[in-house]
């Protein structure tokens, strides 16, 4: 894997001057992903924060081939592009090797675009799909999505006198992708750049459909200071709320194991969207979420063939 100095020498394919918020996790995820390609890339991007803030007509922040898609069809669009590329290469009209990336937020991936993503994975296109997961429909007003955690307050599942926020646990989209029996799937976080870039490089080197789910904190929707994005992205991993792992041809491997696992409440404290959970009436929600995290972490370790560390 190239060092951070080597990655920094590669051309910026997402340039400065875009209108994404300060501290936006999506822009960090995209820059890391694009720096991880040593070949030309073609990008498709679903409507959402990333597209809206980087392609203000007549300007663009994309210094590569870029296609804007509707909310629901980033994967379908890139499937067509990749198919056309293979046809042209077979006819001898193209010779260059190209990496294909489809980007979508959690709204356009977990929910509205799930059918498109599933079709791309099932058909076997040689495309890397990257979900920048900021855990809500941020571009249209912080509405809850299938990626929104239980207990988080959003504009469509607000915390108040009769509600503690979203009542459901979030979907396990990475597991859904794995269930398509694709050659490579992974979870990553913008808080751990080396892990993220190595996974993107591995995905590019793997023929066939690939999926990486990247946790990308949103200061506006998560209600944290813009300079805390990386810290919060790291703590999500350290608390095992967002474990880092990869699945290669069905084999699980945990790529980062925290030496000490803080309680998820420490992560919640940094975000305004969870502040109501610390009221006495809602404390049990934190306990239930912690129990679910413990259960899923143990299951992941077991799937990876690793034993759960014993408690002293």
Task: Write out pLDDT tens, residues 159-215.
Answer: 999 999 999 999 999 999 999 999 999 999 999 999 999 999 999 999 999 999 999
Number of compact structural domains in the chain:
1
- Specify the pLDDT at position 241: 98
pLDDT tens readout for residues 140-151: 999 999 999 999
Nearest in space to 13 (alpha carbons), one of 103, 116, 88 = 103
Q: Is residue 180 a contact partner of residue 125, using CB atoms and an 8 Å limit?
A: no
- Specify the pLDDT at position 104: 97
Distance CA 168, CA 119 (A): 26
135 within some domain: yes
- Specify the pLDDT at position 258: 97
Tokens matching residue 175 = 């597991």
Q: What strands, in cross-sheet order, belong to the sheet with 245-248?
A: 65-69, 41-46, 99-105, 128-133, 210-215, 184-189, 245-248, 251-254
309 within some domain: no
- Specify the pLDDT at position 298: 97
- Specify the pLDDT at position 312: 41
- Specify the pLDDT at position 159: 97
Distance CA 213, CA 117 (A): 12
- Specify the pLDDT at position 309: 54
310 within some domain: no
Residue ranges, the chain, pLDDT below 50:
310, 312
211 within some domain: yes
Distance CA 267, CA 213 (A): 19
- Specify the pLDDT at position 56: 92
Distance CA 85, CA 93 (A): 9
311 within some domain: no
Domain with 213, as residue range(s), is 4-303
268 within some domain: yes
Distance CA 237, CA 242 (A): 5
234 within some domain: yes
Tokens matching residue 137 = 């429909």
Distance CA 25, CA 47 (A): 17
Q: How far is CA 157 from CA 9, 13, 49, 78, in A?
A: 44, 36, 20, 33
Q: Is residue 62 a contact partner of residue 130, using CB atoms and an 8 Å limit?
A: no
Distance CA 250, CA 179 (A): 9
- Specify the pLDDT at position 308: 64
CATH number at residue 107: 3.40.50.970
């Amino acid at each position: 894997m190239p060092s951070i100095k080597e990655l920094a020498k590669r051309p910026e394919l997402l340039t400065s001057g875009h209108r994404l918020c300060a501290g936006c996790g999506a822009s960090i995820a995209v820059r890391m992903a694009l720096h991880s390609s040593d070949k030309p890339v073609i990008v498709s991007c679903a409507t959402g924060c990333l597209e809206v803030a980087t392609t203000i007509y007549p300007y663009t922040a994309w210094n590569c081939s870029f296609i804007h898609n509707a909310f629901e069809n980033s994967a379908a669009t890139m499937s067509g592009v990749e198919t056309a590329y293979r046809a042209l290469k077979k006819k001898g009209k193209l010779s260059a090797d190209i990496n294909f990336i489809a980007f979508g937020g959690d709204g356009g991936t977990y929910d509205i675009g799930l059918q498109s993503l599933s079709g791309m994975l099932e058909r076997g296109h040689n495309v890397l799909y990257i979900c920048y997961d900021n855990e809500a429909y941020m571009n249209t007003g912080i509405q809850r999505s299938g990626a929104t955690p239980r207990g988080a307050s959003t504009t469509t599942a607000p915390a108040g006198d009769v509600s503690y926020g979203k009542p459901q646990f979030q979907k396990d989209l990475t597991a859904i992708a794995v269930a398509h029996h694709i050659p490579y799937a992974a979870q990553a976080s913008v808080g751990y750049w080396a892990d993220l870039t190595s996974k993107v490089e591995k995905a590019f080197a793997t023929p066939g459909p690939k999926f990486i789910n990247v946790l990308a904190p949103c200061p506006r929707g998560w209600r944290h200071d813009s300079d805390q994005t990386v810290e919060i992205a790291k703590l999500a991993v350290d608390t095992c709320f967002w474990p880092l792992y990869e699945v290669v041809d069905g084999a699980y491997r945990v790529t980062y194991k925290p030496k000490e696992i803080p309680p998820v409440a420490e992560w919640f404290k940094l975000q305004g969207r969870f502040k109501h959970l610390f009221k006495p009436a809602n404390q049990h929600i934190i306990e239930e979420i912690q129990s679910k995290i413990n259960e899923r972490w143990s299951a992941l370790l077991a799937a990876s063939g690793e034993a759960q560390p014993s408690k002293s």
